[in-house]
Structure 1
């Protein structure tokens, strides 16, 4: 094998370029784990609580809701807070569900801030497909940590999001830091 071929295969002498490995994105590219339509009964937010925390990327379980790491995060530490009950509209949550979603969201912010020094957050729910909800049939609130300069050219021009660690490592770190 020539030196040029070895370098192109990612082995050999360094070429002064850094490599950005995001192997977890292949599942997204291939359409794996893509939520089925509502009629199939395969809601991922209903399925996740039945998995082991590490397999489902669950960070914390509450009584009425749980916190899960986003499988396709916008930023490192991107969490979602989901009620266990299959409900689509925030207005249809019970008072207790809404209170626990709010409490888990506040604690998620504290934990992520403590673990990664996030300097801001985007928090929100996309209600309905027309509003951008990828999974509109099951309510979920996004908790997206932000840092200065985190939205540089990579997602805009390169159509790539950079993540500094594997999702399983992020889940373990956040779960360990969760109080109580």
Structure 2
């Protein structure tokens, strides 16, 4: 191995050598970390308006209903973190029509069943953040989080390193959920 002028190894010269650390690579999060937030405008700038126009695999869509759909969260808290969204660009739960509310609820229940079949979680977090001050990342397009939970799924990484270890790729999680989605 080559050394520098002071016989100090430079990082590029030993980048491929094992050092005992396991790396958690999450390059997809750079958009989020970099502050490139999605638009609140309906259409291509809104990720929940744009997703249904893509193929299911490209849009990370797990299931399509008539008025609402289910999509993987691009920045998941846990594997299988999915979102139930109306196709219509509305910001508040009370803005849904009665028909949208019925399907929104039915898809949430189906999502829980699919996650139970696909990955046997020990519990779930369900929730909606209404408005930016309540924590909504995309405040203008309603979406409900369905997060599977397991004992011990929170550890020092999120607290100390602001990093979440996810053992599955999004496309693998999507495939499992599509296969486990309740029929009929």
> Quick check: TM above 0.5?
yes
Q: Are 2:119 and 1:116 equivalent residues in the alignment?
A: yes
Task: Answer yes or no: is the 8 Å Cα contact 1:70–1:80 preserved in 2.
Answer: yes
Task: Answer yes or no: is the 8 Å Cα contact 2:42–2:49 preserved in 1.
Answer: no
Q: State how many pairs are aligned.
A: 177
CA distance in 2, matches of 1:38, 1:103: 27
Which of 64, 67, 70 aligns to 1:64? It is 67
What is aligned with 2:175?
Answer: 172
Task: Answer yes or no: is the 8 Å Cα contact 2:42–2:89 preserved in 1.
Answer: no
Structure 2 unaligned residues grouped into runs of 5+:
4-8
CA distance in 1, matches of 2:111, 2:14: 42
CA distance in 2, matches of 1:7, 1:37: 45
Structure 1 unaligned residues grouped into runs of 5+:
none
How far residue 132 of structure 1 moved from its aligned partner, in angstroms, is 1.1
Q: Are 2:28 and 1:28 equivalent residues in the alignment?
A: no
Task: Answer yes or no: is the 8 Å Cα contact 1:22–1:163 preserved in 2.
Answer: no
Task: Answer yes or no: is the 8 Å Cα contact 2:127–2:145 preserved in 1.
Answer: yes
Q: Are 2:22 and 1:18 equivalent residues in the alignment?
A: yes
Q: Are 2:32 and 1:46 equivalent residues in the alignment?
A: no
CA distance in 2, matches of 1:115, 1:158: 29
CA distance in 2, matches of 1:154, 1:21: 13
CA distance in 1, matches of 2:73, 2:111: 13
Q: Are 2:91 and 1:103 equivalent residues in the alignment?
A: no
The CA RMSD measured in Å over matched residues stands at: 2.1
Task: Answer yes or no: is the 8 Å Cα contact 1:112–1:118 preserved in 2.
Answer: yes
Task: Answer yes or no: is the 8 Å Cα contact 1:81–1:140 preserved in 2.
Answer: yes
CA distance in 2, matches of 1:23, 1:48: 20
TM-score where L is the length of structure 2: 0.87
Which has more radius of gyration?
Answer: 2
